[in-house]
């Protein structure tokens, strides 16, 4: 049996002026488990969303079991036996597990608009049996743990997949992220049980999982499939290098100025704890130093960033700035202490889309009562030039700019005002193109040279190598390693490899 | 605000509606544009304009204040009762109280994290109840207050109360455009999370805005006492919906962020021309609320910011 179960043909998708998918072609054979790996912003989730009918491709086509299809909505894909488990599956809390599994595609579970509970529970049970027989279809969804809910989401994908007599196609986007080891094991075993009966696309950051369950692994970067390996013939290290190739190339082309000496310790954390999140974190960042903090999803580094921003207070431990202990009540208080925070979600937390570039740049400047438009324009002009923000004018709405330029505005907001003592950036290079990446890296280094203590949080260690003097690695809420960047990247320094 | 300035089409719409209304009403009754009826129009507008001014700030912030009319009624009663005892200090004292009531509602909303809709809905009951408790019925002003007397008069055909309302609106408009407070208020309405993370003291801005709404409601109550010569525990009750309708018909978005006080000025004129025009044109009184209903839905459909909301509930 060597039939193609689902095929993506030259798929392109553009959001704003960022082309997330630049012509992706991918075949999944019947009964095959394909791993899809790549850095953040490589386009993995977008590809799955197109295949699952959540979004529509701008160009290209999707072929299911030999017939071209055109999804109008997610339901169409589900009707064709394609199950999708999104990266952050959401459940309706107030209804039963069976209702969630079959929501919107009840089939025999509903007749003439009336729920047939017995049929519904039977259908849900068939899917649950494969994944986790201990979950009862009649249980209330909100009574389940986070781990169990992920398994219900898996069962929902499977229930959709088994709607047709054909072998199901399952698209799983990061199904193991944020799961504890037992949860990961249960999920991987679920995939192994379905092997040969279903075609599965498995997206994951956890390379060891991908290597374990997949037959074939496809590496994506910048919206393209750049390499393909048989799982048996590759290693985690090779995949790392294939994924990171571009980042290292940027770093090498860009070079690094490490000549300046950092000053005194500025930000110091002692035994800082917030559960769930992170525990007993000791960290010191000196003025003029760029410190990197990395870890997989749920490692706690993003949660630590949110505490520094003043959103989530720690339960234990202390934080001091320039030797003085500070207790942050709210973000405004953090700003008053000289902490600037650039959030990962720039659209909903970093910039006000409906305000102009100049107004956004003035938002964090808390000096004076009055608005001085002339000064605002001058400041905006200076930072538009310095960070190469591509905008028609300073009075253009930020929502009209591309993601990379919005990110520059979110960062410049802090650089335009009084110099922050501590600059915390969460995932500042996500989904940026090469030039924007270089501009942002330049600005971050410049802020450090100017005397700020900089903490950069990122999912990929390779990303940090370009920016940081020192890198700490977090895992399960604790800092596991803390060393200079050169030591951290020595292992990664390999010839840049790109297979097209 | 450069970028908050909405597109030309959406600010033209209320102007066009107002023009059509004025032409329609004067076609029915040519005397509508006489000096006399314009003065009636202005007198009728004063209280609604004051209530709508405070409401506009609250709506731009992304909140709602349902208690404005109840605060105005309470102030009317308190002023009428206090003039004989406090004399000229009665009005400032009542305004201070109205401001404090607004601020207090803001504090409850922020600290207890109760939606502003609920806090101010409770406010209607609370402030009307207190007004009824201190005065069962109409309280005539037994005493003289030069400010109230002045407020009830006109110069060159311009009622002083209307002038006060315009001046109040102009002051707040200047604050919105020139002070950082105004920028922050817009930013909170547009993207509260971004404002918060940028260090904007969101709680303080919210409390100040509700205090401003309370002050405006107090001024409205004072204007109504001056006009009628008495206070009444339900004097302003019928003005709550018209004042909110005026804000929305003017084109300030119920979803926050987008809007301005100049739009509200237009909205108030539309609402008042409807009120007065229906009477002058001899139409059935039922026509007035009917027209509000249609206009509000059309205005909200035209101004709501669907891009940033996604799912409209």
**Is residue B130 in a domain?**
yes
Same structural domain for residues A207 and A86?
Answer: yes
| Contact flag A363-B1 (C-beta cutoff 8 Å) | no
Using a CB–CB cutoff of 8 Å, tell me whether B197 touches chain A.
Answer: yes
Same structural domain for residues A454 and A355?
yes
Checking if the pLDDT of A132 tops 70, the result is: yes
Q: Is B139 helix (H, G, I), strand (E, B) or coil?
A: strand
Query: When comparing pLDDT for A403 and A256, which is higher?
Result: A403
Flag if B3 and A370 touch (Cβ within 8 Å): no
pLDDT of residue A196: 78
Is the pLDDT at B233 greater than 70? The verdict is yes
- Band (A493; pLDDT cuts 50, 70, 90): very low
Residue B165 near residue B45 (C-beta atoms within 8 A): yes
Residue range A255-279: mean pLDDT, rounded:
76
pLDDT of the residue at B11: 65
Of A191, A176, A128, A135, nearest in space to A155 by CA? A128
Q: d(Cα A211, Cα B54) in Å, to the nearest integer?
A: 63
Q: With a cut of 80, say whether residue A310 has pLDDT above it.
A: yes
Q: Is the same domain home to A29 and A102?
A: yes
Least confident range of A65-74, A463-472, B158-167: A463-472
User: Taking CB atoms and an 8 Å cutoff, what residues of chain B touch A348?
Assistant: 191, 193-194
pLDDT band at A297 (very low <50, low <70, confident <90, very high): low
- In this model, does residue B101 exceed pLDDT 70? yes
Q: Which residue has the tokens 């207050």?
A: B145
CB within 8 Å: A332 and B186 = no
* Predicted local distance difference test score (pLDDT) of residue A494: 34
pLDDT digits (tens, 9 = 90+) for B23-58: 888 887 787 778 787 888 888 899 999 999 999 999
Is the pLDDT at B2 greater than 80? The verdict is: no
Of the two residues A390 and A307, the one the predictor is more confident about is: A307
For the cut 60, the answer to whether the pLDDT of residue A223 exceeds it is yes
Structure confidence at residue B168 (pLDDT): 96
Q: Confidence class of residue A117 from pLDDT cuts 50, 70 and 90?
A: confident
B3-14 residue pLDDT tens: 444 444 456 777
Cα separations (Å) of B153 from A144, A191, B140, B310?
69, 83, 18, 50
For residue B199, the enclosing domain spans 8-304
In angstroms, what separates the C-alpha of A225 from chain B's closest C-alpha? Answer: 32
pLDDT digits (tens, 9 = 90+) for A435-455: 778 888 888 888 888 888 999
Assess whether A280 and A324 both reside in one domain.
Answer: yes
CA distance B224 to chain A (A): 34
From CA A349, how far away is CA A113, in angstroms rounded? Answer: 41
Nearest to B187 among A331, A363, A368 (CB): A363
Q: Which residues of B touch A335 (CB under 8 A)?
A: 198-199
**End residue of a domain, out of A172, A200, A234:** A234
* Residue-wise pLDDT tens digits, A269-289: 988 888 888 888 888 899 888
Answer whether A399 sits within 8 Å of B307, measured CB to CB.
Answer: yes
Q: Which CATH number covers residue B86? A: 1.10.3470
A434 contacts A250 by C-beta, under 8 angstroms: yes
* Binary contact (B196, A331; C-beta < 8 A): yes
Q: What is the average pLDDT across A100-107?
A: 81
Residue of B nearest to A308 (CA): B197
Average pLDDT, chain A: 83
- Confidence class for position A497, pLDDT limits 50, 70, 90: very low
pTM of the model: 0.76
Residues of chain B with pLDDT > 90, as a percent, come to 48
Q: Which of A234, A250, A274 lies at the terminal end of a domain, its last residue?
A: A234
- Asked if B2's CB is within 8 angstroms of A358's CB, the reply is yes
Using CB atoms, pick whichever of A348, A368, A413 lies closest to residue B198. A413
B301 touches A: beta carbon within 8 Å: no
In whole angstroms, what is the distance from residue B104 CA to residue B93 CA?
A: 16
How many folded domains does chain B comprise? 1
Contact B183/A at CB under 8 A:
yes
* Residue A201 contacts residue A64 (beta carbons within 8 Å): no
Tell me which of A75-84, A175-184, B66-75 is least confident: A175-184
Q: Which residue of B has its CA nearest to A337?
A: B199
**Residue A50, pLDDT score:** 92
Judging contacts by C-beta atoms under 8 Å, the chain A residues touching residue B200 are: 332, 363
B177 at A interface, C-beta within 8 A: yes
Q: Hey, are the CB atoms on B198 and A309 less than 8 Å from each other?
A: no
CATH of the domain at A452: 3.40.50.300
User: Is A248 domain-assigned?
Assistant: no
A497 falls within a domain: no
pLDDT of residue B195: 93
Q: What is the mean pLDDT of residues A496-500?
A: 30
Which of A351, A355, A367 should one mutate to test binding to chain B, selecting the residue with the greatest count of B CBs within 10 A? A355
**Tokens found for residue B7:** 């597109």
Over residues A149-185, the pLDDT tens digits come to 888 888 888 888 877 778 889 999 888 876 777 788 8
CB contacts, 8 Å: A377 with chain B = none
**Beta carbons of A363 and B194 less than 8 Å apart:** yes
Residues of A in contact with B199 (CB under 8 A): 331-332, 334-336, 364, 366
Could you tell me the CA-to-CA distances from A177 to A109, A147, A300, A398, B102 in Å, in that order? 31, 10, 13, 32, 47
Same domain, A20 and A77: yes
pLDDT tens digits, one per residue of A312-359: 888 988 999 998 898 988 899 999 999 999 998 887 888 998 899 999
Residues B52-65 pLDDT 10s: 999 999 999 999 99
Asked if the model's pLDDT at residue A496 lies above 70, the reply is no
**Residue B34 belongs to a domain:** yes
Range of the domain at A206: 4-234
Query: A452, A455, A436, A445: which is closest to A257 by C-alpha?
Result: A445
- Domain stop point among A202, A234, A266: A234
* Closest among A352, A395, A358, A371 to B180, alpha carbons compared: A371
Q: Which of A3-17, B86-100, B217-231 has the lowest mean pLDDT?
A: A3-17
Interval B171-218: pLDDT, tens: 999 999 999 999 999 999 999 999 999 999 999 999 999 999 999 999
Domain match, A167 and A79 both = yes
Is B136 among the domain residues? yes
Residue A36 pLDDT > 60, yes or no?
yes
Domain membership flag for residue B236: yes
Calculate mean pLDDT across residues B75-97. 90
Q: What is the percent of chain A with per-residue pLDDT over 90, rounded to a whole number?
A: 17
Is a pLDDT exceeding 50 seen at residue A492? no
Write the burial class of residue A440 (CB in 10 Å: 0-12 exposed, 13-18 middle, 19+ buried): buried
Q: What is the 3-state secondary structure (H, E, C) of chain A?
A: CCCEEEEEEEEEEEECCEEEEEEEEEEEECCCEEEEECCCCCCHHHHHHHHCCCCCCCEEEEEECCEEECCCCHHHHHHCCEEEECCCCCCCCCCEHHHHHHCCCCHHHEECCEECHHHHHHHHHHHHHHHCCCCCCCCEHHHCCHHHHHHHHHHHHHHHHCCCCCCCEEEEECCCCCCCHHHHHHHHHHHHHHECCEEEEEECCCHHHHHHHCCEEEEEECCEEEEEEEHHHCCHHHHHHHHHHHHHHHHHHHCCCCCCCCCCEEEEEEEEEECCCEEEEEEEEECCCEEEEECCCCCCHHHHHHHHCCCCCCCEEEEEECCEEECCCCHHHHHHCCEEEECCCHHHHHCCCCCEHHHHHHCCCCCCCECCHHHHHHHHHHHHHHCCCCCCCCCCEHHHCCHHHHHHHHHHHHHHCCCCCEEEEECCCCCCCHHHHHHHHHHHHHHHHCCCEEEEEECCHHHHHCCCCEEEEEECCEEEEEEEHHHHHHCCCCCCCCCC
Domain count, chain A: 2
- The alpha carbon of residue A451 is apart from the nearest alpha carbon of chain B, in Å, by 21
- Among chain A residues, CA nearest to B196: A331
Q: Are residues A340 and A274 part of one domain? A: yes
Report percent pLDDT > 70 for chain A: 89
A417 and A268 share a domain?
A: yes
- Chain A contact for B194 (CB, 8 A cutoff): yes
- Report ipTM for this prediction: 0.81
**pLDDT for B303 beyond 80:** no
The verdict on A358 touching B (C-beta cutoff 8 Å) is yes
- The residue among B130 and A121 whose pLDDT is bigger is B130
Does B310 map to a domain?
Answer: no
The answer to whether B187 contacts A341, with C-beta atoms less than 8 Å apart, is no
A266 and A402 in one domain? yes
């Amino acid at each position: 049996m060597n039939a193609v179960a689902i095929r993506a043909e030259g798929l392109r998708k553009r959001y704003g002026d960022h082309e997330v998918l630049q012509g992706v072609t991918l075949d999944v054979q019947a009964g095959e488990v394909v791993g899809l790996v790549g850095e953040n912003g490589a386009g993995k989730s977008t590809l799955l969303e197109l295949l699952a009918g959540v979004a529509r491709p701008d160009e290209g086509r999707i072929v299911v079991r030999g017939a071209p299809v055109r999804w109008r909505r997610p339901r169409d894909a589900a009707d064709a036996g394609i199950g999708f488990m999104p990266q952050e599956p959401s459940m309706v809390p107030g209804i039963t597990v069976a209702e969630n599994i079959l929501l919107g595609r009840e089939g025999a579970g509903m007749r003439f608009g009336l729920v047939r509970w017995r049929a519904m529970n039977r259908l849900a049970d068939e899917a649950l049996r494969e994944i986790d027989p201990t979950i009862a279809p009649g249980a209330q969804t909100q009574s389940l743990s986070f781990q169990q809910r992920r398994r219900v989401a898996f069962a929902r994908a499977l229930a959709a997949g088994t709607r047709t007599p054909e072998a199901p196609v399952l698209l799983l986007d990061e199904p193991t992220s944020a799961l504890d080891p037992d949860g990961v094991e249960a999920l991987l075993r679920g995939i192994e049980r379905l092997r040969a009966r279903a075609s599965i696309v498995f997206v994951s950051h956890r390379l060891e999982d991908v290597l374990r369950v997949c037959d074939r692994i496809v590496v994506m970067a910048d919206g393209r499939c750049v390499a393909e390996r048989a799982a048996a013939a590759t290693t985690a290290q090779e995949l790392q290098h294939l994924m990171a190739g571009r980042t290292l190339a940027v770093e090498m082309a860009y070079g690094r100025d490490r000549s300046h000496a950092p000053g005194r310790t500025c930000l110091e954390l002692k035994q800082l704890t917030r559960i769930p999140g992170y525990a007993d974190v000791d960290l010191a960042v000196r003025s003029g130093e760029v410190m990197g903090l990395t870890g997989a999803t749920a490692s706690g580094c993003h949660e630590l960033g949110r505490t520094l921003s003043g959103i989530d207070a720690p339960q234990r431990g202390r934080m001091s700035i320039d030797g003085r202990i500070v207790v942050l009540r709210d973000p405004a208080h953090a700003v008053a202490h000289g902490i600037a925070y650039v959030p990962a979600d720039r659209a909903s937390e970093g910039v006000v889309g409906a305000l102009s570039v100049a107004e956004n740049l003035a938002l964090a400047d808390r000096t004076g009562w009055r608005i001085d438009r002339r000064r605002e324009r001058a400041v905006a002009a200076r930072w538009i030039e310095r960070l190469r923000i591509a905008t028609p004018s300073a009075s253009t709405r930020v929502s009209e700019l591309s993601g990379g330029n919005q990110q520059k505005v979110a960062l410049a907001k802090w650089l335009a005002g009084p110099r922050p003592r501590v600059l915390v950036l969460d995932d500042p290079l996500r989904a940026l193109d090469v030039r924007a990446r270089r501009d942002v890296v330049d600005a971050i280094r410049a802020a450090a040279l100017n005397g700020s203590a900089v903490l950069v949080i990122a999912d990929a260690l390779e990303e940090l190598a370009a920016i940081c003097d020192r890198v700490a690695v977090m895992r399960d809420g604790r800092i596991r390693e803390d060393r200079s960047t050169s030591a951290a990247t020595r292992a990664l320094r390999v010839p840049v490899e790109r297979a097209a | 605000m450069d970028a908050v300035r909405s597109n030309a089409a959406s600010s033209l719409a209320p102007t066009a509606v107002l023009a059509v209304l004025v032409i329609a009403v004067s076609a029915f009754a040519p005397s509508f544009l006489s000096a006399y009826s314009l003065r009636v129009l202005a007198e009728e507008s004063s209280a609604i304009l004051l209530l709508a001014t405070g409401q506009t700030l609250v709506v731009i912030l992304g909140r709602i204040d349902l208690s404005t009319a109840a605060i105005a009624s309470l102030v009317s009663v308190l002023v009428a009762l206090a003039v004989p005892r406090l004399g000229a200090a009665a009005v400032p004292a009542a305004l201070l109280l109205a401001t404090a009531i607004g601020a207090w509602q803001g504090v409850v909303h922020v600290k207890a994290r109760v939606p502003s809709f609920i806090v101010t809905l409770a406010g209607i009951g609370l402030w009307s109840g207190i007004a009824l408790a201190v005065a069962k019925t109409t309280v005539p002003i037994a005493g003289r207050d030069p400010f109230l007397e002045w407020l009830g008069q006109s110069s060159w055909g311009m009622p002083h109360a209307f002038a006060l309302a315009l001046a109040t609106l102009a002051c707040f408009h200047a604050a919105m455009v020139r002070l950082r407070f105004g920028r922050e208020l817009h930013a909170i309405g547009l993207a509260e999370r971004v404002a918060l993370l940028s260090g904007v003291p969101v709680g303080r801005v919210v409390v100040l805005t509700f205090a401003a709404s309370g002050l405006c409601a107090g001024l409205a109550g004072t204007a109504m006492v001056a006009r009628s010569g008495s206070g009444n525990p339900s004097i302003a009750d019928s003005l709550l919906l018209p004042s909110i309708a005026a804000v929305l018909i003017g084109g300030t978005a119920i979803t926050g962020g987008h809007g301005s006080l100049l739009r509200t000025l237009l909205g108030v004129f539309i609402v008042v021309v409807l009120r007065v025009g229906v009477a002058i044109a001899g139409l059935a009184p039922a026509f007035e609320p009917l027209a509000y209903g249609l206009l509000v839905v059309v205005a909200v459909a035209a101004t709501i910011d669907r891009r940033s909301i996604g799912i409209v509930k």
